[in-house]
Amino acid sequence: MIITGKYPNLRLRRNRKSDWARRLVSETNLSFNDLILPIFLIDGKNKIQSIKSMPGVYRYSIDKISRVIDKAIILGIPMIALFPYTNSKVKNYYGSEALNENNLVCKAIRLIKKKYKNQIGIMCDVALDPYTSHGHDGLFKSGYVLNDETVEILVKQSLLQAEMGCDVIAPSDMMDGRVGKIRKALDKNGYELVQILSYAVKYASSFYGPFRDAVGSRGFLKGDKKNYQMDYKNETEALREVALDIKEGSDMIMVKPALPYLDIIKNIKNNFKIPVIGYQVSGEYSLISNGIKKGIINQDAIIESLISIKRAGASAIVTYYADKISKFLK
């Protein structure tokens, strides 16, 4: 970078002298158009259930999700993401509840599409961990998640979600080759316009704990997910994963978590010029929220964290703050 001029003729603080001046030269801005709101679903009726490890986040029975979606539409949030808390009675080794057209996600999609049409987009997670008795994203055998056998199930799950009306299929499982198989199946069955948001870069992170509480998989998980989720020490591997998923037909790329991996978001954006979505995961959310609650940090940390993800190159951000930050975005 070449800096022309020198002090005292050049005073960079002049552009910071007042609120209007700072707004005038702001390089990164955030709006509700940049946000994706996750919604946790639970069986039953008339239920709004708090999640202890995620302050201010709730599970909703399907008859109660309209209050969340109504607010999201008013705010201008373009998309929601659906995640189920699956009853342990229907979990099994194969995760077969994922293929039940009357599972929580499928029922929610139908209700949302019937009531709201295309007023808001629906993103659906493709993975088996909410449905398996072992807590893994695919078929688990001898301490290893089977790749190709899992992909066949994920293809069926994707087709079912598309049939129900899902707009954006989001495979979060990290199996090799699943994007290409899903894209081919969607196109073959008349769902050419259904987008794929690939969790191409999903690290085996310590920041997922509260989410596993939210979907009820924490107590079921056998071992860890390091033989399919990425090693957090690796950067080049992330670029290889992205390149493969783009080649197989991904329309957008997810980086998860976001804050510890801002360098990865930036490198993907610079190298591939594709929409990159940063997922501010449950652990990030809970750390910030509890820090604010205890007076360790102030509320400005919320918007600072989101702006940092956007500044790194994210086109949009999945965040549990999406419907909670009106006062910051006026």
Helix, strand or coil, per DSSP, at residue 167: coil
202 is an active site residue:
yes
- Annotated active-site residue in 64, 91, 181, 202: 202
Q: Calculate ∠ Cα 113-117-123, nearest 5°.
A: 55
Beta strands in the chain (DSSP E): 35-42, 48-50, 58-61, 79-84, 121-126, 140-141, 144-145, 168-171, 195-202, 252-256, 276-279, 316-318
Helix, strand or coil, per DSSP, at residue 254: strand
* CA atoms of 2 and 74, how far apart (whole Å): 45
Helix, strand or coil, per DSSP, at residue 318: strand
164 sits in which H/E element: helix 147-164
DSSP-assigned letter for residue 51:
-
Tell me the two tokens of residue 217. Answer: 């998989």
Helix, strand or coil, per DSSP, at residue 294: coil
- Annotated active-site residue in 64, 91, 225, 256: 256
Unique residue bearing structure tokens 């870069």: 201
* CA atoms of 307 and 321, how far apart (whole Å): 13
Q: Which residues pair with 141 in a beta bridge?
A: 144
Tell me the two tokens of residue 162. Answer: 């598309």
Question: Residues 127-140, buried b or exposed e (16+ Cβ, 10 A)?
Answer: bbbbbbebbbbbbb
* CA atoms of 203 and 323, how far apart (whole Å): 26
Give catalytic residues, as residue numbers.
202, 256
